Chains A and B, each alone.
Chain A
Amino acid sequence: MTTDERALLADLRAMWEEIDPAPPDLATRALFRLEVEAVLAADTLEAELMRLEEPLSLAGARGAETASETASSITFSSTSLTVMVTVSPATAHRRRLDGWIAPSAALRIELRTTTGVEETRADDDGRFVFADVPAGLVQLTIQPTEGAAIHLAGPVRTPAVEL
């Protein structure tokens, strides 16, 4: 390649980066998806995967959807549990999650977000709250818990969803 050709290609590179840049959060989204995949891969056979009942974007499957301004509900289900989550905006970039597990049981719940993992425990009616969660991708895991009304054979995991 000639020097002029190289220079022109460098200009083209700069131009495309400016005109059509990758979405700024694409790398973060890809990493979250890899993390969830790794967690699932590390599970032994007893982990149970929930299905998403309400149409909402799956992790990484769809790009630019933004969280709605009003509360919305998501339902996950598997053979042993149903989890309903209501999402409402806390601030522009934070969300509140109000959840309900059925059948009701005081189970431990882990919430994986792009910034880390939080944990809480449902009350005896199966209700739980994550009051301040970063907007973006999240994934819930319901863990077998001593003293809960239901005995789970292993962790129950939701797919990752965008809040």
Chain B
Amino acid sequence: MAAVSLERDGAEAHENDGLGAVADAFRTWRAGDPAGLEQLVRLLTPTLWQLVRSYGLSRTAAEDAVQTTWLNLVRKADTVREPRAVAGWLSITARREAWRLTRVDGRSAAMEPETITNLGDVPGPATPETLALAGETARRLWRFVAMLPERCRRLLRVIAFDERPDYGRLALELNMPVGSIGPTRGRCLKKLRDLMEGGSR
């Protein structure tokens, strides 16, 4: 199943979009129907996977982080004040857990200074098998992404799946001022665009 993007831009959210379905599932569950929880888990697990993998966790650690996130939701569902907030709550919880795992177990290399790495050095992403199975478009884009600094890769992956993550926490994790997140996102996207245009010439 495709991951739901956690876009919550403005008021133009439609009831039929991914987040509308998420809010509905949460409401159903909280009203006492366990089918709502199942739907919520099936809808958002692929997105949570993407978010925690952006921290460079191994696949095993990423699974732990996703499972812990769902356990936390079940234990603390009362603290989610309104159904449309549940996606943001899960995003923060998952990323907090992923960050904790990188610190506690040293499961991920610390954030390196910005250096250009080649494909073989990029931590985390796909196994050689999944890379080989991916389509040409995805493989080509991945090669350019692999040339970006790690900070860019992580920032773009988080923002691709959660358009509005809490910037305070992200800034802390990426070791940059809160005010730099927006401009850095723009610079990273531009860098990627430049690489793609250079690569296609």
| A residues whose Cβ falls under 8 Å from a Cβ of B | 4-5, 8-23, 26-27, 29-31, 33-34, 37-38, 60-64
Q: A14–B138 Cα gap in the complex (Å)? A: 8
The 10 lowest CB-CB distance pairs between A and B, nearest first, are: A22-B49, A27-B45, A18-B138, A13-B160, A15-B141, A63-B63, A60-B67, A19-B126, A22-B46, A12-B160
Are the CB atoms of A17 and B41 closer together than 8 Å? Answer: no
Interface membership of B24, Cβ < 8 A: no
Q: A17–B63 Cα gap in the complex (Å)? A: 16
Mark the stretch among B107-115, B127-135, B165-173 that contacts chain A.
B127-135
- A18, A23, A37, A64: residue with the most chain B Cβ atoms closer than 10 Å: A18
Q: How many A-B residue pairs have CB under 8 A?
A: 110
Q: Please tell me the size bucket of the interface on B.
A: 35 or more
Task: Identify the closest chain A residue to B139 (Cβ).
Answer: A19
Q: A15–B134 Cα gap in the complex (Å)? A: 9
| B residues whose Cβ falls under 8 Å from a Cβ of A | 2-3, 5, 37-38, 41-42, 45-46, 49-50, 53, 59-60, 63-64, 66-67, 70-71, 74, 124-126, 130-131, 134-135, 137-139, 141-142, 145, 156-157, 159-161, 163, 185-186, 189, 192-193
Between A and B, 16 residue pairs with Cβ closer than 8 Å are A5-B185, A9-B160, A15-B141, A16-B160, A18-B135, A19-B134, A19-B138, A20-B125, A20-B126, A20-B130, A26-B63, A30-B45, A34-B41, A38-B74, A60-B64, A60-B67
